[in-house]
Amino acid sequence: MTHHGTMTIETARLRLRPFTIADAPAMFANWAADPEVTRFLSWPAHRDVSVTCQVLTGWTSRYGTADYYQWAITVKADGPQPVGSIGVVAQDDRVAAAEVGYCLGRPWWHRGIMSEALTAVIGFLSAEGYQRVTACHDTVNVRSGQVMRHCGMRLEGVLTQAGRNNRGVVDECLYAIVTGQAGPQPMRRGRQQLTAAECGTLLDQASSGVLALVGLDGHPYAVPLSFVYLDGCVWFHSALTGTKLAAIRRCPAASFCVIGQDDVHREAFTTHYRSVMITGQAFIEQDEQRRQAALSALAVKYGVADAASRRREVEAGLARAVIIRMEVEAMTGKQAKELVTADDR
């Protein structure tokens, strides 16, 4: 391990730098006083700028320590004012591991700023010698999980009643990235891999698949479902309550498997199959227009061809069904070697 402390980091849009006491007014105004920002944090919103000054006094006093890492996030286009913070909240040199925490002012949400900052910090910590970087988020705070995934971190599990924040004692999702670790491995028999177009065709034609979630007890929870593949997402409908919805609300990590062909050839002791595996995140859809589009597509797929009947089904479904959207992060299709064409061989 080599420790250089909180050094300035530059990215395309951001400058991560050490805090100064002069940052107190901007920190207070931009995020520290906002209860919406601190909702999922372990410290309460600051009641006045004097509290912010006290916090910064503690932070800046530690900048002489080589293994102390606490950055002010600044956006180059917005000048030197800090708009958030990111730093190492725990570390263990014995296993070269560091845990990162962060927060960002509301005006800068949904602009990819935190993903850019976290990616930069992961790279910096890797150069310092850290081999494992982790981060946790309240299971309700799904957007924080999206940030972690965008930075290449992977969900390792849900820790039951393991954290405490301003909501009380909460379940937490644990994400990690092991620096230098190999990414997804290519299919061993690459000639059997389906193209993206072939995967899409299989999904359009298949009538059902199995959705796997992180169950409420931590064990995998898998359920067969009807579905439709639309606009690059997989859509399901569900009753208004149930284990499936509770699991998604607790942890959105999901996988979905579809077998589009499975012909048994007994004389050869094999099957001629085509299948698709998808990994991604499942969410309960709130947008009314997308809910309608998904229900209409489901109605068409499962036989409601008449437009008037389809409208009635959609109107009824909007009141009695929950629509689940699974965002696709990775999709792999495979077929039996016997189905590979001569040209592909």
Q: What size, in residues, is the chain?
A: 345
* Segment 116-160, tens digit of pLDDT: 999 999 999 999 999 999 999 999 898 899 899 989 898 888 898
* Segment 48-71, tens digit of pLDDT: 999 999 999 999 999 999 999 999
Residue 300 lies in a domain: yes
**233 shares its domain with 167:** no
Query: Residues of the chain whose pLDDT is less than 50?
Result: 182-183, 342-343, 345
pTM confidence score: 0.72
Residue 124 lies in a domain: yes
Look at residues 178, 212, 243 and tell me which one is the last residue of a structural domain: 178
Domain CATH number, residue 279? 2.30.110.10
**248 shares its domain with 167:** no
Residue 146 lies in a domain: yes
**278 shares its domain with 163:** no
Look at residues 130, 155, 178 and tell me which one is the last residue of a structural domain: 178
Half-sphere exposure of 197 (CA within 13 A, CB side): 0
**194 shares its domain with 119:** no
Look at residues 178, 205, 225 and tell me which one is the last residue of a structural domain: 178
Residue 183 lies in a domain: no
Domain with 120, as residue range(s), is: 9-178
Domain CATH number, residue 140? 3.40.630.30
Residue 268 lies in a domain: yes
d(CA 330, CA 15): 32
**95 shares its domain with 172:** yes
**24 shares its domain with 163:** yes
**100 shares its domain with 237:** no
Phi then psi dihedrals of residue 116, to 5 deg: -65, -40
Residue 286 lies in a domain: yes
Look up residue 285 and give its two tokens: 């859809």
d(CA 311, CA 317): 10
- Of residues 69, 126, 77, the one with CA closest to residue 102: 69
Count of the separate structural domains present in the chain = 2
Tell me what pLDDT residue 345 has. Answer: 47
Residue 1 lies in a domain: no
Residue 23 lies in a domain: yes
Burial group, residue 203, by CB count within 10 angstroms (0-12, 13-18, 19+): buried
**170 shares its domain with 315:** no
